[in-house]
């Protein structure tokens, strides 16, 4: 065990799921991996052969990474001699300067499509691809069949992802599919795979030119639509604090810069100075709002100082963080925490013993109890929801002969968990917790989903609907739902809510023209605040007021048939209020 208290023995962080101890289950996220080496990689966050664990404590992650790198360097030292530098990167060099043009690839004998592969020295090398490839352009199938060909192609693509250590989500990238379509479109023609030198040379240069042109177009749009500046703070592996600054607008987001923060995130004056530079670069007249990534540190102070200095720009906090904070606060309430602790005791016991785990799997048809989530506060509620959905499965498991004859049935821990599963008060308490938390979890999933429309015009209504859902779940009993409403309102009022949310709600035609639209005092004052702060010219303010009258009455262009048809499909009517939720 190191000085931080984290055990360096990988077996202390995983549970064997078979007698040969060839497969282990992570104690933190319940993922099953093959072998202790991959478990170590999983805990260390080393990509390649296994997906990194998102729930592992930081001290364990650091300890496992150190052990893994030490082992890896030891292997390299034995293979190639003393390393030149202790920080020598472990990833292989794909651009060897000593490529052998006469090298023959295993399995390349026989006739087949010819693919020209450039070596690092730009000498063309011919490689034959076996005829088991299906040629889509001609409709000719291979000797081994189309199905075998497809499986072979899928395995080759998979091997590329594994070897390169790429995120599996890259397979969803449109550019990846364009690449595959372009290769398939070559048919029986010869085509040349780009070499490493080409990938680092003219291909990269063309991509850089294209992205520069894209950035110029996005920057040009800021003056017409306005934009939001997004702050994303993080700490690198060396403990250095950094903040990424991004600019988002209807045309798309761009990364502006990453700034190292000397010391900690608690220096509001230093951060304000950097933010002032960003505002000057983007143009204060183009910035609608700044969205902070957190409420911790000096961010609350920074927000107040920023609003005092920049009267025309709004300050808000990331909606995902605020919802996560609401869930965290709910989880700290005594009655809620008691239920969550009991649920954790159940999962810890089941996942901590392989025989009990296998018994649980048998009774749940192979399904897990743990529900992973990128948000730790949401995971505990999703897991509780899953446990409740498998209530009968668990009760049957602890009443089964397999359980009663196991060694764990007579253990103190086993008896406690079995009694807990059979206790009605636990299940009624769990139902109460879910009534309050799951509506918030659903909102968190919604704003982090794949809907690419601007969320600014929907967050106000979404939060109202979420509160009403909680109220309905508790059958309108004030003593039940008001404590949760108070907690939600506290974070909404102090961190999340901005006048832009009210204006976005009002100017969202899909909501404004609906039968249940409610323009209360908060909505009206928020809209007025936006007009006054963002538009200084009184004549322009008067013009906006006239346009709002037309909008309210659905007169003029707002009442045309095409405009009516687009009400439920178009975003809020003013691009000026662009404000995505990061």
Cβ–Cβ < 8 Å for 241, 265: yes
The reply to whether CATH 3.30.420.60 applies to domain 208-317 is yes
Average pLDDT over residues 211-218: 94
Cβ–Cβ < 8 Å for 356, 397: no
E strands within 215-347? 227-235, 241-248, 254-261, 287-292, 314-317
Q: Taking Cα atoms as reference points, which of 248, 405, 440 lies closest to residue 325?
A: 440
- Distances in Å between the Cα of 375 and the Cα atoms of 42, 214, 371, 500, 539 are 18, 33, 11, 26, 47
Q: Which residue has the higher pLDDT, 542 or 79?
A: 542
Residue 375 backbone dihedrals phi, psi, to 5 degrees: -110, 120
**C-beta atoms surrounding 562 within 10 Å:** 7
- The token duo for 131 is 């005829």
What percent of the chain lies above the pLDDT cut of 90? 35
Q: Rounded distance, CA 34 to CA 24, Å?
A: 6
Q: Rounded distance, CA 510 to CA 453, Å?
A: 13
Q: Taking Cα atoms as reference points, which of 343, 510, 477 lies closest to residue 423?
A: 343
Instruction: Give, for 131, the enclosing helix (H) or strand (E).
Output: none
Domain boundaries along the sequence of the chain? 10-80, 112-195, 208-317, 320-495, 498-573
Own/partner long-range contacts of 118-121 (Cβ < 8 Å, ≥24 apart): 118/192, 118/193, 118/194, 118/195, 118/197, 118/198, 119/195, 120/95, 120/96, 120/195, 120/196, 120/197, 121/97
What's the full length of the chain, in residues? 582
Give tens-digit pLDDT for 184-212. Answer: 766 544 545 556 677 677 877 888 888 89
Mean pLDDT (the chain) is: 78
71: left (phi over 0), alpha (psi -120 to 50) or beta: alpha
* pLDDT value, residue 15: 87
Average pLDDT over residues 131-143: 39
Residues linked to residue 232 through DSSP beta bridges, in sequence order: 244
* pLDDT value, residue 452: 55
Is residue 405 helix, strand or coil?
coil
* pLDDT value, residue 247: 96
- Distances in Å between the Cα of 70 and the Cα atoms of 62, 90, 512 are 12, 11, 61
Give tens-digit pLDDT for 4-29. Answer: 567 778 888 888 887 776 788 888 88
* pLDDT value, residue 556: 66
* pLDDT value, residue 66: 78
Sign of the four-CA dihedral 513, 519, 525, 526: negative
Q: Which residue has the higher pLDDT, 123 or 378?
A: 378
Residue 289: is it exposed, middle or buried by C-beta count within 10 angstroms (0-12/13-18/19+)? buried
Sign of the four-CA dihedral 72, 74, 79, 83: positive
Q: Taking Cα atoms as reference points, which of 136, 139, 184 lies closest to residue 157?
A: 184
Cβ–Cβ < 8 Å for 248, 256: no
Average pLDDT over residues 102-123: 38
* pLDDT value, residue 36: 84
Tell me the pLDDT band of 149, cut-offs 50, 70 and 90.
Answer: low
Is residue 48 helix, strand or coil?
coil
E strands within 337-473? none
Angle of CA points 63, 67, 71, to nearest 5° = 170
Helices (H) and strands (E) in the chain, counts: 23, 11
For the chain, the farthest-separated pair of C-alpha atoms sits apart, in whole angstroms, at 84
- Find all residues with CB under 8 Å of 46, minimum gap 6, and list them: 52, 65, 68
Give tens-digit pLDDT for 314-336. Answer: 999 999 999 999 999 999 999 99
Instruction: Give, for 74, the enclosing helix (H) or strand (E).
Output: helix 58-80
Q: Rounded distance, CA 218 to CA 235, Å?
A: 29
- Distances in Å between the Cα of 279 and the Cα atoms of 285, 313, 561 are 9, 10, 41
Residues linked to residue 128 through DSSP beta bridges, in sequence order: 114
Residues linked to residue 246 through DSSP beta bridges, in sequence order: 230, 255
Cβ–Cβ < 8 Å for 143, 132: yes
Q: Which residue has the higher pLDDT, 566 or 253?
A: 253
Q: Rounded distance, CA 175 to CA 210, Å?
A: 14
Bridge pairing between strands 314-317 and 241-248: unpaired
Give tens-digit pLDDT for 419-473. Answer: 999 999 999 999 999 999 999 999 998 888 655 555 677 888 889 999 999 999 9
Q: Taking Cα atoms as reference points, which of 339, 329, 249, 241 lies closest to residue 289?
A: 249
Residues linked to residue 113 through DSSP beta bridges, in sequence order: 129
Q: Rounded distance, CA 332 to CA 347, Å?
A: 19
Give tens-digit pLDDT for 510-556. Answer: 888 877 888 788 888 888 898 888 888 888 888 888 888 888 887 76
């Amino acid at each position: 065990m190191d000085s931080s208290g984290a055990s360096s023995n990988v077996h202390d962080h995983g549970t064997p799921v078979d007698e040969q101890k060839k497969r282990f289950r992570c104690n933190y996220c319940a993922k099953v991996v093959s072998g202790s080496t991959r478990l170590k990689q999983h805990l260390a966050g080393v990509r390649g052969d296994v997906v990194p664990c998102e729930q592992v404590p930081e001290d364990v992650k650091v300890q496992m990474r150190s052990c893994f790198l030490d082992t890896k360097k030891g292997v390299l030292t034995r293979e190639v001699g003393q390393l030149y530098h202790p920080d020598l990167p472990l990833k292989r060099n794909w651009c060897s300067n000593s490529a052998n043009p006469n090298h023959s690839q295993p399995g390349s004998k026989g006739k087949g499509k010819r693919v020209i592969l450039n070596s690092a020295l730009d000498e063309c090398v011919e490689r034959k691809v076996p005829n088991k490839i299906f040629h889509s352009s001609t409709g000719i199938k291979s000797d081994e069949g189309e199905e075998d060909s497809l499986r072979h192609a899928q395995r080759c693509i998979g091997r590329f992802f594994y070897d390169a250590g790429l995120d599996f989500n890259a397979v969803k990238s449109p550019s990846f599919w364009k690449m595959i379509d372009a290769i398939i479109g070559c048919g029986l023609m010869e085509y040349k795979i780009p070499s490493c030198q080409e990938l680092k040379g003219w291909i990269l240069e063309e991509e850089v030119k294209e992205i520069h042109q894209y950035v110029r177009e996005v920057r040009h749009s800021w003056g017409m639509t306005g934009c939001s500046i997004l702050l994303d703070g993080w700490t690198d592996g060396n403990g250095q604090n950094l903040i990424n600054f991004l600019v988002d607008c209807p045309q798309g987001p761009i990364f502006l810069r990453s700034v190292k923060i000397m010391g900690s995130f608690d220096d509001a004056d230093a951060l304000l100075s950097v933010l002032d530079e960003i505002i000057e670069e983007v143009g204060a007249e183009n910035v609608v709002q700044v969205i902070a990534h957190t409420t911790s540190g000096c961010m609350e102070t920074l927000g107040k100082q920023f609003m005092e200095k920049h009267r025309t720009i709004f300050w808000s906090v990331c909606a995902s963080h605020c919802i996560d904070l609401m869930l965290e606060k709910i989880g700290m309430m005594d009655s809620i925490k008691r239920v969550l602790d009991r649920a954790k005791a159940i999962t810890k016991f089941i996942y901590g013993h392989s025989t009990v785990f296998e018994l649980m799997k048998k009774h749940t048809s192979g399904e897990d109890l743990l529900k992973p989530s990128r948000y730790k506060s949401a995971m505990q509620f999703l897991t509780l929801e899953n446990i409740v959905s498998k209530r009968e499965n668990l009760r049957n498991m602890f009443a089964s002969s397999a359980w009663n004859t196991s060694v764990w049935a007579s253990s103190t821990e086993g008896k406690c968990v079995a009694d807990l599963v059979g206790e009605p008060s636990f299940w009624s308490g769990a139902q109460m917790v879910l009534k309050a938390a799951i509506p918030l979890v659903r909102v968190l999933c919604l704003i982090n989903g794949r809907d690419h429309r601007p969320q600014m015009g929907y967050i106000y209504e979404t939060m109202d609907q979420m509160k009403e859902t909680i109220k309905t779940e508790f059958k309108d009993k004030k003593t039940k739902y008001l404590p949760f409403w108070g907690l939600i309102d506290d974070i909404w009022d102090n961190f999340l809510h901005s006048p832009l949310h009210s204006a976005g709600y009002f100017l969202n035609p899909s909501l404004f023209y609906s039968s249940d639209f409610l323009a209360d005092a908060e909505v009206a004052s928020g809209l007025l605040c936006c007009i006054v702060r963002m538009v200084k010219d009184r004549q322009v303010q008067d013009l906006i007021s006239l346009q709002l009258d037309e909008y309210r009455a659905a007169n003029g262009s707002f009442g045309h048939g095409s405009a009516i048809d687009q009400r439920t499909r178009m975003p809020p009517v003013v691009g000026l209020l662009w404000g995505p939720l990061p």
